[in-house]
């Protein structure tokens, strides 16, 4: 569907350029760059968590390389809310320039602060609230309250000489939110009356008909599940889902249970939320994990991380019987979150392992224990009709979500040529009320592997996948440089090959013959000899074992 585009032309004065550097065609690493008259504004800087085909990778960042030579032009970073896929990449951006001004709500910046401290960064942080306005050089910003699965989310209005833009961040339109903080449709309507030139809108649930169910409907279900569980209850959720934790606390208190928070991020985030008043814990509800084992199982609820099947998270360790908290018959495990695309296999693997341990597993597939934080099709249609934007740029979602969102916009009367379905790195220019795609910049995956950032390539990942699937063979040989005769070896060792080393006895004479023939042809270079060995054993392994392992030959001339 998507072709390769040429590089964009030089940006004209008075034109607003919009470049998503992450978050299109994927769920995560959301980041959008806005540029006008030499100044840059960034909205969000999140991470994407790796999938099975990206072994060894810790995190995936937006392509920050685009900003390498433009850091001094950045006037600010706006964070729409405190989820990892919107704030997790900020420390890596600040390592490039630490004094970029950061604007976000109170809870968003509170969740960001420990990340900055972990990276030994200070950051210039400024708390903004709904209704606030900020002028950042070429950009006049206004902040609008939106409802999401985390408190204190904000949409941002960006006013420039080229026109007005609304970026929703992640949002939905829950009419009875737990914190009584509604998506401000009056502000949306006012913006529509004034004229909206470009609408960047959350697409995650665009292919879901109707309206997202109410958050308040989850509480009674969790309460009922806890009430009928004879032993311990384990609830897994995102560590930032304050509303879900609040519902668990209320249900636990109603049935005389204590709650132990498990997992570093869960403990940290809920402490922050409680300190700021976003989480209201019943008196005496919390108990330290070390003390939880001393009370009867029927009196405890464990609130933990791992709802996406992450292998190192608490729930996965429980499922693998590698955690101090054991799970078995009479216990209930509640997965109180939705499935992020790409995590399905990992989540169902955890569910299966917990079921094998005889636990009762309750999840979105068999009970109403989670609702989405994203607007469904009905809510998006409502917004299009309210705002009547001149141009639409669907963001935040996989391609099916972006396309579905574009179709909704078209149904409300927005011309198809005014709806941009694009991918990361595509460049959209807004001028004189019209947004059009004008080119493409380099935009790839930026992998974090331990302490290294951006040094892992797709070729490296291919090698890792090959190692995991096909194994590894090393060959050591000392060769007489004149005759090509093997003086020592060849010694062959294999790892993850599912074969004993003696299986290579048949190929050793072939290697010796190939090296002797190479010597007769005048080949003396050790690197060239290594290639002779690699070709010989590679052909033999492929023919006899139908395998393509990683082959590392080492040749010493002596």
Domain CATH number, residue 339: 3.40.50.10710
Is the CB of residue 251 less than 8 Å from the CB of residue 223?
A: yes
Helices 185-194 and 377-387, packing angle to 10 deg:
40
Q: Three-state SS for 457? A: coil
Per-residue pLDDT, 512 = 80
d(CA 245, CA 552): 51
Both 238 and 348 in one domain: the answer is: yes
Per-residue pLDDT, 341 = 65
Both 90 and 184 in one domain: the answer is: yes
- Sole residue written with tokens 């809870």: 107
Exposure of 524 in the CB half-sphere (CA atoms within 13 A): 6
d(CA 484, CA 504): 21
d(CA 266, CA 99): 29
**Looking at the domain assignment, is residue 3 inside a domain?**
no
**Looking at the domain assignment, is residue 391 inside a domain?**
yes
CA angle, corner 46, sides to 340 and 368, nearest 5?
30
Our separate counts of H helices and E strands in the chain read: 15, 25
Both 183 and 56 in one domain: the answer is: yes
Name beta bridge partners: 141. Answer: 134, 158
3-state SS, one letter per residue, for 264-307: HHHHHHHHHHHHCCCCCCCCCCECCHHHHCCCCHHHEEEEECCC
Both 179 and 239 in one domain: the answer is: no
Per-residue pLDDT, 348 = 84
Q: Give the end of a domain, one of 391, 425, 453.
A: 453
Per-residue pLDDT, 455 = 63
Question: Would the CA dihedral through 313, 317, 320, 326 be positive or negative?
Answer: negative
Sheet strands (E) in 49-111 = 59-61, 74-78, 101-104
249 alpha carbon, distance to own chain's centre? 27
Both 40 and 179 in one domain: the answer is: yes
Tokens of 224: 């009922």
Beta 31-36 vs 124-127: how paired, if at all?
Answer: unpaired
Alpha carbon distances (Å) from 546 to 106, 215, 270, 531, 549? 58, 53, 53, 20, 10
Is the CB of residue 361 less than 8 Å from the CB of residue 261?
A: no
Both 516 and 388 in one domain: the answer is: no
Averaged pLDDT, groups of 10, the chain, 558 residues long = 84 97 93 98 90 66 93 98 95 95 98 94 94 97 97 98 98 95 97 97 96 94 95 92 95 96 93 96 94 94 83 83 91 84 77 92 86 95 97 96 97 97 97 96 82 66 59 78 73 68 77 79 77 83 77 78
Both 272 and 406 in one domain: the answer is: no
Per-residue pLDDT, 310 = 72
**Looking at the domain assignment, is residue 5 inside a domain?**
no
0.75 exceeded by pTM: yes
Both 189 and 222 in one domain: the answer is: no
CA dihedral angle for residue 307, residue 309, residue 312, residue 313, rounded to 10 degrees: 10
User: Where do the H-state alpha helices sit in 361-398?
Assistant: 377-387
**Looking at the domain assignment, is residue 33 inside a domain?**
yes
Question: Would the CA dihedral through 356, 357, 359, 363 be positive or negative?
Answer: negative
Q: Give the end of a domain, one of 362, 390, 421.
A: 362
From 439, 393, 444, select the one nearest 414 (Cα to Cα).
393
Is the CB of residue 198 less than 8 Å from the CB of residue 419?
A: no
Question: Would the CA dihedral through 80, 82, 86, 90 be positive or negative?
Answer: positive
Tokens of 498: 């599912």
**Looking at the domain assignment, is residue 68 inside a domain?**
yes
Name beta bridge partners: 127. Answer: 104
Q: Give the end of a domain, one of 362, 391, 406.
A: 362
How many Cβ atoms are within 10 Å of 101's Cβ, its own excluded? 15
From 425, 472, 416, select the one nearest 444 (Cα to Cα).
425
- Phi, psi of 347, deg, nearest 5: -65, -45
| Close Cβ partners of 465 (under 8 Å, ≥ 6 residues apart) | 53, 55
420 alpha carbon, distance to own chain's centre? 23
d(CA 389, CA 410): 11
Sheet hosting strand 472-479, strand order edge to edge: 486-495, 472-479, 550-557
Both 449 and 480 in one domain: the answer is: no
Sheet hosting strand 332-335, strand order edge to edge: 258-262, 300-304, 233-236, 332-335, 360-362
Alpha carbon distances (Å) from 127 to 134, 141, 314, 485? 11, 13, 33, 73
Length of the chain: 558
**Looking at the domain assignment, is residue 429 inside a domain?**
yes
Is the CB of residue 212 less than 8 Å from the CB of residue 174?
A: yes
From 553, 52, 141, select the one nearest 347 (Cα to Cα).
52
Per-residue pLDDT, 498 = 54
Tokens of 408: 């909704």
Both 352 and 238 in one domain: the answer is: yes
Domain CATH number, residue 477: 3.10.20.580
Is the CB of residue 60 less than 8 Å from the CB of residue 457?
A: no
- Domain containing 483 equals 471-557
User: Where do the H-state alpha helices sit in 95-227?
Assistant: 106-118, 185-194, 218-227
**Looking at the domain assignment, is residue 358 inside a domain?**
yes
Both 237 and 184 in one domain: the answer is: no
Both 44 and 173 in one domain: the answer is: yes
From 434, 431, 432, select the one nearest 419 (Cα to Cα).
434
**Looking at the domain assignment, is residue 465 inside a domain?**
no
Per-residue pLDDT, 238 = 87
The burial of 13, by beta-carbon neighbours within 10 Å (0-12 exposed, 13-18 middle, 19 or more buried), is given as: exposed
Beta 101-104 vs 332-335: how paired, if at all?
Answer: unpaired
Work out the end-to-end distance of the chain between its first and last CA atoms, rounded to an integer number of angstroms: 57
Domain CATH number, residue 29: 3.60.15.10
- Per the structure, the count of domains in the chain is 3
């Amino acid at each position: 569907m998507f072709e390769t585009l040429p590089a964009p032309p030089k940006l004209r004065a008075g034109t607003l350029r919009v470049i998503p550097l992450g978050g299109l065609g994927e769920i995560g690493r959301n980041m959008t760059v806005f540029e006008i008259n030499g100044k840059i504004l960034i909205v969000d800087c999140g991470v994407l968590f790796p999938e099975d085909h990206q072994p060894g990778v810790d995190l995936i960042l937006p392509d920050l390389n685009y900003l390498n030579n433009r850091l001094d032009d950045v006037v600010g970073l706006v964070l729409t809310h405190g989820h990892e896929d919107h704030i997790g990449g900020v420390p890596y951006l600040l390592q490039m320039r630490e004094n970029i001004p950061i604007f976000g709500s109170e809870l968003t910046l509170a969740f960001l602060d420990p990340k900055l401290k972990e990276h030994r960064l200070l950051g210039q942080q400024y708390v903004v609230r709904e209704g606030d306005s900020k002028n950042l050089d070429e950009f006049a910003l206004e902040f609008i309250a939106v409802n999401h699965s985390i408190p204190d989310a904000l949409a941002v209005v960006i006013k420039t000489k080229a026109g007005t833009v609304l970026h929703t961040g992640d949002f939905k339109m829950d009419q009875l939110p737990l914190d009584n903080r509604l998506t401000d449709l009056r502000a949306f309507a006012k913006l529509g009356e004034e004229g909206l030139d470009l609408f960047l809108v959350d697409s995650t649930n665009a292919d879901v008909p109707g309206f997202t169910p109410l958050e308040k409907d989850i509480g009674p279900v969790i309460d009922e599940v806890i009430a009928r569980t004879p032993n311990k209850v384990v609830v897994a959720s995102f560590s930032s889902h304050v509303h879900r934790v609040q519902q668990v606390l209320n249900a636990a208190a109603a049935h005389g249970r204590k709650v132990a928070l498990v997992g570093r991020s869960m403990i940290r985030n809920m402490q922050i939320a409680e300190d700021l008043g976003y989480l209201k814990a019943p008196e005496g509800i919390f108990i330290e994990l070390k003390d939880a084992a001393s009370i009867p199982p029927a009196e405890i609820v464990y609130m933990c991380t791992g709802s996406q099947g992450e292998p190192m998270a608490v729930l996965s360790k429980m499922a693998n019987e590698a955690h101090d908290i054991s799970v078995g018959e009479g216990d209930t495990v509640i997965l109180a979150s939705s499935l992020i695309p790409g995590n399905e296999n990992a989540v169902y693997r955890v569910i299966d392992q917990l079921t094998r341990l005889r636990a009762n597993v309750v999840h979105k597939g068999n009970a109403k224990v989670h609702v989405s934080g994203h607007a469904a099709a009905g809510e998006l249609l409502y917004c299009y009709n309210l705002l009547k934007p001149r141009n639409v740029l669907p963001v935040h979602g996989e391609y099916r979500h972006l396309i579905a969102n574009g179709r909704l916009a078209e149904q409300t009367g927005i011309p198809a040529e005014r709806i941009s379905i694009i991918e990361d790195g595509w460049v959209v220019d807004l001028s004189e009320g019209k947004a059009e795609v004008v080119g493409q910049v380099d935009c790839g995956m930026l992998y974090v592997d331990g302490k290294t950032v951006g040094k892992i390539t797709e070729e490296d990942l291919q090698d890792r996948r090959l190692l995991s699937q096909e194994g590894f063979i090393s060959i050591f040989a000392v060769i007489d440089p004149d005759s090509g005769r093997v003086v020592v070896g060849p010694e062959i060792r294999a790892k993850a090959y599912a074969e004993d080393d003696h299986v290579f006895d048949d190929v050793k004479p072939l290697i010796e013959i190939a090296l002797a023939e190479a010597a007769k042809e005048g080949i003396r270079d050790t690197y060239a000899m290594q290639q002779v060995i690699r070709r010989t054993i590679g052909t033999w392994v492929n023919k006899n074992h139908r395998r393509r392992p990683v082959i590392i030959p080492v040749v010493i001339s002596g």
